[in-house]
Amino acid sequence: MKPKAFEYVRADTLAVLLQALAAHDGAKIIAGGQSLVPMMNFRLAQPEVLIDINGIAELNHVTSDGAVIRIGAMTRYRDLLDSACLNARIPLLAAAVRHVGYPAIRNRGTLGGSLVHNDPSAEAGVVLTCLGAELLVVCAGAERRLPLAEFFVTTYLTDIAQNEVLTEIRVPIPPAGAGFAFKEVARRVGDFAIVNVAAQIGSNAQGEVTSLSLALGGVAETPIRADVEGSLLGRLIDMPLAARVAAEVDAMIDPQDDNVARGDYKRHLAGVLVKQALLEAHAGSRAGD
Ligand SMILES: Cc1cc2nc3c(=O)[nH]c(=O)nc-3n(C[C@H](O)[C@H](O)[C@H](O)COP(=O)(O)OP(=O)(O)OC[C@H]3O[C@@H](n4cnc5c(N)ncnc54)[C@H](O)[C@@H]3O)c2cc1C
C-alpha cells in the first residue's frame, strides 16, 4: 500500500524543528524512516505533516563527557558501530547494535528512532536498559531528563508528547574492566529477536562479582531489568550459580504467545540466554585498573 498524502517539512536545526512541531498538531518526526515508513505504508500511521530531522547536525554526535557518553538521537546504528569512542568505552552497546536488522537497516535507522518506536525486543532498548541510560527530551521552552525505564510505557508507546523531541541518550561509562555479553535468538539473521539478553559484570582481583546489570527483551511489553544482584554480588559465577539465577529470572517473567513464538518457548530461551550471558560476561571481566 501507499501512505496517505502528507505535507513534508525539512528542519535543519533544532530551533526550526521545535517551531514546526508547535505549529502542526498532526505532525510526526521522521528520522531513519525504518519503522515509520512501513507503518505509513500500512496506514497504521497517518501523519498530516512529516518533519524530516535528517539534516539536524546537532542531533548527530557521539561524545565522551566525564563518566557519560552522550549520543545524539539522530545517530545511526552504522555510526555507532564506527565510533572508536563507543567501541573503546561501551563495547556492549556496539555488540548489541550488530544484531539490528542487516546493513541497509543499520545505515538508515537511528538510536533515537528505535527508542521512541519501542519494539519490546529492539536491541537498543534492551542494551540501554542494561546500561542504565538516561534521555533528554526537549520541547519549545523546556527540557526534561528521565531514565529510559520511565520513558518506555508499553509496546510501541513511550512517554513523549507530540510537540517533544528526543535529543540525546546519555549512557554511563561502565566500570573499568567490566565484562559484557549480548545474546539473542531470532528466527533468521536480521529478524527482530524472539528473546535477547544483555549483561554487564564487574569483578575484583579474586574474580568475585562487584557490580552487575542484567536486562531482557522480548519477554514483556517493554525491556526489563532483572534485579539479581543479591544472588551474585561477592560470588564467583559458575554454571550451577548461573542456573539458579536463571531460575530466579524465570519467576520474574510471564512472556506471552505472539505470532512468532509461544510464551513457554520464550521462557525457555530466556533461561538459556541468561545463563550464557552471565557466564560470558563474568569470564570477560577483570579487576578494575
Ligand atoms: C526489514 C527491517 C528489519 C529490522 N530489524 C530490526 C532489528 O532486528 N532490530 C531492531 O531493533 N530494529 C529493527 N528494525 C527497525 C529499525 O531498527 C528502525 O530503524 C528503528 O526501529 C527506528 O529508527 P528510525 O530512525 O528508522 O525511526 P523512524 O522510523 O524514522 O521513526 C520511528 C518513530 O520514532 C519517532 N522519532 C524518531 N526520531 C525521533 C526523535 N528524535 N524524537 C522524537 N520522535 C522520534 C518517529 O516519529 C516514529 O514514531 C528493522 C526494520 C526493518 C524495516
| pLDDT tens, residue order, the chain (289 aa) | 789 999 999 999 999 999 999 999 889 999 999 999 999 999 999 999 999 999 999 999 999 988 999 999 999 999 999 999 999 999 999 999 999 999 999 999 999 999 999 999 999 999 999 999 999 999 998 999 999 999 999 999 999 999 999 999 999 999 999 999 999 999 998 899 999 999 999 999 999 999 999 999 999 999 999 999 999 999 999 999 999 999 999 999 999 999 999 999 999 999 999 999 999 999 999 986 5
Q: Is the CB of 184 under 6 A from ligand 1?
A: no
How many angstroms does the Cα of residue 38 sit away from the middle of ligand 1?
A: 10
Which fold does the domain 179-283 belong to in CATH? Enolase-like; domain 1 (3.30.390)
Ligand 1 near 110 CB (within 6 A): yes
Ligand 1 centroid to 249 CA: how many Å? 29
Question: How is domain 7-52 classified at the CATH fold level?
Answer: 3.30.43
**Ligand 1 center to 119 CA (angstroms):** 9
How far away, in angstroms, is 200 Cα from ligand 1 center? 25
CATH of domain 57-172: 3.30.465.10
CATH 3.30.465.10 maps onto the chain at: 57-172
Query: Residue of the nearest CA to atom 51 in ligand 1?
Result: 34
Helices (H), the chain: 14-23, 36-41, 77-82, 84-89, 91-97, 103-108, 111-117, 123-131, 148-151, 229-232, 239-252, 263-283
